[in-house]
Amino acid sequence: MPLRDDDPTSVGEYVLEDRLGSGGMGIVYRARSASGRLVALKLVHAQYCDDDEFRSRFRQEIAAARRVSGAFTTPVVDADPEAKRPWMATLYVPGPTLFDLVGAEGPLSVARIRGLALGLVEALRDIHRAGVVHRDLKPANVLMAEDGPRVIDFGISRAGDNLPLTVTGRVIGTPPFMSPEQLRSPRDVTAASDVFSLGSLLVYAASGHSPFKAESPYLAGYQVMFEAPKLHAVPEPLRRIAERCLEKDPTARPGLVELHRLFLELPPSAGTGHVTGEQAPEPAPGTLDRPTDTGPTDTGPTDTGPTDTGPTDTGPTDTGPTDAGRAYDDTANDSAPHGGGTPSNHPADKRPADGPRVKRRAAKRQLILVGLGAALTVGALSAGLLGYAGFEDSSTASDAGPTVRYRAVSLPEGWRPWRTALRADSGLPAKYIPINYDQSGCRTDGTDLYCAGAGFVVAKVDAATGKTGWRYGTLPQTARPIGERDGLVYVYQEADNTRRNLVALDTGTGKQRWTRPISASEAVLLYDGGILTLTPDHAEMVAYNTAGEELWRVSEPTGDNCVPSVLGDDPYALCWQGDEFLDTRPFRLVRLDPADGTRQNLTPMPKKALALGAVGGRPLFLRAETTEEVYQAGYERPYNAFLRVDPDTGKVTRIPLKRALRGAATLVDGVVYFVRTNGSVTAVSATSGKSLWERTTDMENLSAPVVSKARGEIYFANRFGRLLALDSATGAELWRTDALDDPGDTATETPPQVLLVDDAIVATAGTMAFSLNPDDPTTRPTTPAVGD
């Protein structure tokens, strides 16, 4: 459709040519670069430009879209989330959406659905492998290009390590294409939710309507959660596949590998999608059956990867308020994908001949909804579906303010609350976007901090004042410093994506003392007596002393692959046969003599076993309950036992857990803390496997914990600078803080970190570092610290 009078003529370096459509988040244009390249440019609505929460959400969408690449998705070409009106440009793909195609031509044939399904399965595979769950797979978000479908619009997707940006009680989405768990408990959604949405989408393609046809979003959501899908208009054998995708239980749905096989078995040439049996198809869909671009349809956080079929953690889950978003939009005429295509205006659908009967059924269901005032309806539907009407739940745990236990506190000399922006070098390109956001943060020598990560260069920061002493390098690093020892801090230096060096810097001056080439993909580790590295060709492990002198070098046996590991303070190697990655097969634990690197094969370890560290000098691993690939098992993989290894004999002692536990696991002083994406924390004894305590919080996106033994407290940070303190003995919540006003541009993508300098808490969120007194956590600095 042509541009309107109030449309801009250009955005960034792109000239706008046509308006493709409008949704809740923004307007999508066809645009052209100076070189003639066509893009689909999404420009955020003006009313959202001053909304920090919305900008964070848009940054998250850009980050999710950048992570995904594949034949059946649309790549991000350019973006500026910091512009006055944020925008994102993706490759322009000509073609209608599946919504428009079915509206214009009617249901697709089984043969066409076969090609569509295979393309969507491949798209979801790429999305899930990138650590993202789409969460809004619907006909309006699938472009029907000549060479296959394209999945677009990552506006409410979430990476496996991302969490909701707010907790304000609103849940939004497109109910006929949402999964039951997405409505019931958005925080616990995995990529199996995308499989459910895929089933609904294919039913729409085969019959012209959603399997959950209703007159309102409330009733559509009720049907999704409690009623059987309407599949009589779907021909066999597609119907059997759709039935399995639409199982209410996420663990009962097929994975992508099985779906690929099932769709391949469909006949490549078959009849139309119309049913030839006794039952006629249902009437054409009404407006509520039509998928729409409902804008920022964030339904809360999700795990990544389809759900595994093994037992899951039945511990505490967060049933608190859900993520904010926009109300349900039942208009489809002005919706368009951001990946390209041309919207079509459908004539108004006629009401079915049995309209009055449908109304009576709806009335009965409404009575059921009212009568179900039990936990599920009140807890799930009111927390979820009421969000479509724009209701908010303003009751959050932070409303009551922090409760602080006052104890003697030890702070660095001259300490005061501070915050410091960790910036890139001035010579960095203005639009530089870090590629890797893993493990940003700081290390400490007890007096100073040494920080590096996404968006900022290596910097020395005074732990008492936050003032910057020196900076090193011109490009942001992809990891925090390795550690500090003997007056040197060890950092990574990356000239490009293929070369990486270990660099030793003088802690006093920031000057480079020595450098060594290392593997571009494996971490450097400090052990008692040296620094353990892997050579760039991955053929040898090399140990250096603090002066950079080689202590020893060990070659990998023929046919082996090995990566270095430090458990406790001792050097080890994890070795396996073949060219695959470590997490794809069983491996061997190999002990390395710290003096000369002599190898001692200790024991084979099962596939997916996770190294935690050592307890009493004995290496400790977690045994995975399922060995499915990450995108099939869910990013919060279930673990059912500890494996403790005798470092002398290799004997393995299995310590079973009472039930399978999920979450990021951290070993601290003989206790393993499982931290789930929904904010729940479980503490387990590493020696007995006994659960010590469990605590459910509504504070998602928590960092790994840091424990103050002297104060008996455990601290966490989240991406937006909120801090949480729990009693380390009982798990009781002691206090929490509000989010930072300015966590930085990469807050939604950068894992947070918290550490202690004496009793002072130091945390990083985005490109901001800050420090608080645990006895007075609400007092924060009013202005950032400054350095040289």
DSSP structure class, residue 718: B
- 42 carries a ligand binding annotation: yes
Q: In angstroms, what is the C-alpha Rg of the chain?
A: 27
Q: Is 615 helix (H, G, I), strand (E, B) or coil?
A: strand
Per-position DSSP letters for 541-581, written without gaps between them: EEEE-TTS-EEEEEEPPTTEEEEEEEETTEEEEEEEESSS-
Q: Looking at residue 714, what is its pLDDT?
A: 98
Mapping DSSP to helix (H, G, I), strand (E, B) and coil, where does residue 701 land? coil
Low-confidence ranges of the chain (pLDDT < 50): 156-171, 270-406, 426, 429-437, 630-634, 747, 787-788
DSSP label of 236: T
What does the DSSP assignment read for 207-228?
HSS-SS--SSHHHHHHHHHHS-
| Share of the chain residues as helix, strand and coil, in percent rounded to the nearest 5 | 20, 30, 50
pLDDT at 391: 26
Phi–psi pair at 44, nearest 5 degrees: -65, 140
Give CA torsion, residues 584, 585, 586, 588, to 10 deg. -80
Q: Output the pTM of the full model.
A: 0.53
Residues 584-630 pLDDT 10s: 679 999 999 999 999 999 999 999 899 999 999 999 999 998 876 54
Q: Are 717 and 737 in contact (CB under 8 A)?
A: no
Read off the tokens for 432.
Answer: 């530089």
Which residue type, as a one-letter code, is found at position 303?
D
Which domains are present in the chain?
93-156+163-307+323-335+350-395 (1.10.510.10)
Phi and psi based region of residue 689 (left: phi greater than 0; alpha: psi -120 to 50; beta: remaining): left
Residue 412 pairs with which residues in a beta bridge?
none
